[in-house]
Structure 1
Amino acid sequence: MSIPVRLGFDIGGTASRWVACDASGAVVARGEAGGASGRVFEPVERHRLSGAVQHVARILAEQGLSVERVTAGLTGFGASTAADVRALLAQPLGIPPANVVAVDDMTLAYLEQFSPGEGHLVSAGTGSYGLHIGADGSRIRVGGRGMLIDDAGSGAWIALRAIDHIYRGFDRHASFDGDPVLAEELLGAIGGSTWDDVRQYVYGGDRGRIGVLSVAVARAATRGDAAAAAILRTAGTELARLATALIGRTRSLPVVLVGRVLDLHLVVREQVGRMLAAETVHVRRSDAALAAALMQTSTLDLALRA
């Protein structure tokens, strides 16, 4: 006899986190699958999302769990892809698309922390953005335009700034001797020291893969590398800028910062605190997949009207 569950997804470029809860709200299973997005008009992204859900479906079946309802927050999700996304989430799990609620990951992250109108959210993971959802369902989004345009303060942004820095030094000296620690950490994480290695890693991968290199930057800062620390400090400034933009367009409200960038190195949090000293600021760990599994559809109604 299978156990019915409600499934929550937090689908991002680096990983797709999921949580299954029973009727009482108790967690019965959780895990991670490959990164994906809601940009299913791109064949590669369509394949990634389908593969991630199929992976989860197999695990749930092996554990005797049957999904009744899914709530998912996806990076890159938009209204134009909603029907396709719901179908891709529903089919491997054996449920009708009508039993799937899909929203963008920003909405899910906000509603995990606040009721509409209560505060400002700044998220710093692979990408970055700021969001305020008003009590009337209106929304103000700042940043979050992708790493080719901005995403300042994000993991991918940190990684690309660091790669740019070591190669500017290489251009001057024909070696990485000016930045030995940062270069060692970055090139070690990439798995090669030639430009071909770096080019293939950066241009042949996705933003999630690039964002992982921010961990190497943090290691370099911990080892005393001044350039790495400066990049991370600037990331903190950029994240604070997102909060001040939201405050300027609305009013002063509590600010919650979430995302793995806040855990990279203390210098990031210190700079955010310094820049937002006059505001009420909280840095919190997010469990958006659990929030999605527990979230009632009625909670999403106001946010989804905007």
Structure 2
Amino acid sequence: MILGIDMGASSSKWALFSGDETTASGVYSPLSGHLYTPEARERMAGGLADIRAAVPALPSAVVAGITGLQSDYAPLIVELLARTFELPQTALHVTDDLHLAYAAHFPAGGGTLVYAGTGSMAYHRTAAGEVIRAGGHGFLIDDAGGAFWQGRQGLKAALREADEGQGESLLASRLFGAIGSRLWPDIRAYVYGEGRAALARLAPVVYTAAVEGDAHAQAIQRRAGEELARLGAAVLERSRGRELALCGGSFNPLVAAAFHAQFAGRGVTFVPTAAPLRGALALAPSG
């Protein structure tokens, strides 16, 4: 039995596979490879222990894809996994979350994966293991098209309307309703108290407003698709590929449609989306 763990900025997910079938799965709080402090390392150890307690059977191998993985801390994570799941290190594989998602869609040397979760990135892995990527620079720099970006664009538009004394748009009404207040001190506490995850949670609200006909929300969805397509096109060009796969919760139907429109008539083949955790089946150590 193979256990896959996908540690992300918004949540951590796990699935236990028997052969090709998922026998159990679960969701845990966010975990990352940013283990710079003793507190962060304790949080990682505690998180793995909680996941172990939730997994109904001891796996024979564990594959962990970790957002923000730093190579300096990979040995520590391997050690924690070995201790937690009572496995030899030869039964463990630690990699970054994009490699896990890529392996769910392509073999090394395959196509290009465009991932849009809290952030955004396009990713290709050559047969020799070289990574060709675009984006993934973090929310302070870019991450255009991802959930944080969508939520931020929506809230920025709503607050500008309020600053200018305009009537409250449908988008603003939906966002303020999700936050629970129209008052700036409350909005400030929501955003700056919880960080990027708080804004990422607003992305589905922007999508709902777009479906309900708000023009500004629709424009945000279109631009998100265009920004993600730009990443995909950049990596396709550099890898000389023709296959694309889309993955991540920020690819709602409107964003995906805008993304596909950018590749119309360009001879690109789209590979069906797969759950990133299925990459564990391809990456699990054999024997």
TM-score by length of 2: 0.91
1:301 matched residue in structure 2: none
Residue correspondence of structure 1 range 196-207 to structure 2 within 5 A: 196-207=185-196
Alpha-carbon distance between aligned partners in 2 of 1:182 and 1:283, rounded to the nearest angstrom: 33
Runs of 4+ in structure 1 off by over 4 angstroms are: 42-45
1:81 corresponds, among 44, 59, 73, to 73
- Counterparts in 2 of 1:11 and 1:242: CA distance versus 1, 3 Å: same
Residue correspondence of structure 1 range 46-61 to structure 2 within 5 A: 46-60=41-55
Shift of 1:290: 3.1
Q: Gapped runs of 5+ residues in structure 1? A: 299-306
Alpha-carbon distance between aligned partners in 2 of 1:184 and 1:47, rounded to the nearest angstrom: 40
Do the aligned partners of 1:19 and 1:31 also contact (CA within 8 Å) in 2?
A: yes
Helix, strand or coil: the match of 1:40? coil
2:156 matched residue in structure 1: 164
Tell me whether 1:13 sits opposite 2:13 in the alignment: no
Do the aligned partners of 2:132 and 2:235 also contact (CA within 8 Å) in 1?
A: yes
1:271 corresponds, among 237, 246, 258, to 258
Alpha-carbon distance between aligned partners in 2 of 1:158 and 1:208, rounded to the nearest angstrom: 12
Q: Which moved more, 1:163-172 or 1:187-196?
A: 187-196
Structure 1 vs Structure 2: percent identity of aligned residues?
35
Residue correspondence of structure 1 range 131-280 to structure 2 within 5 A: 131-173=123-165, 177-263=166-252, 266-277=253-264, 278-280=266-268
2:285 matched residue in structure 1: 297
Q: Gapped runs of 5+ residues in structure 2? A: none
Alpha-carbon distance between aligned partners in 1 of 2:186 and 2:39, rounded to the nearest angstrom: 22
Alpha-carbon distance between aligned partners in 2 of 1:158 and 1:46, rounded to the nearest angstrom: 31
Shift of 1:94: 3.4
Please provide the CA RMSD for this pair.
2.1
Helix, strand or coil: the match of 2:14? strand
Helix, strand or coil: the match of 1:67? coil
Shift of 1:182: 1.1
Alpha-carbon distance between aligned partners in 2 of 1:190 and 1:206, rounded to the nearest angstrom: 13
Aligned length: 285
Do the aligned partners of 1:239 and 1:272 also contact (CA within 8 Å) in 2?
A: yes
Do the aligned partners of 1:254 and 1:279 also contact (CA within 8 Å) in 2?
A: no
1:302 matched residue in structure 2: none
Alpha-carbon distance between aligned partners in 1 of 2:184 and 2:145, rounded to the nearest angstrom: 25
- Counterparts in 2 of 1:89 and 1:180: CA distance versus 1, 3 Å: farther
Helix, strand or coil: the match of 1:297? coil
Alpha-carbon distance between aligned partners in 2 of 1:279 and 1:43, rounded to the nearest angstrom: 50
Shift of 1:281: 4.1
TM-score by length of 1: 0.85
Alpha-carbon distance between aligned partners in 1 of 2:81 and 2:176, rounded to the nearest angstrom: 37
- Counterparts in 2 of 1:206 and 1:282: CA distance versus 1, 3 Å: farther
Q: Which moved more, 1:152-161 or 1:86-95?
A: 86-95
Shift of 1:257: 1.1
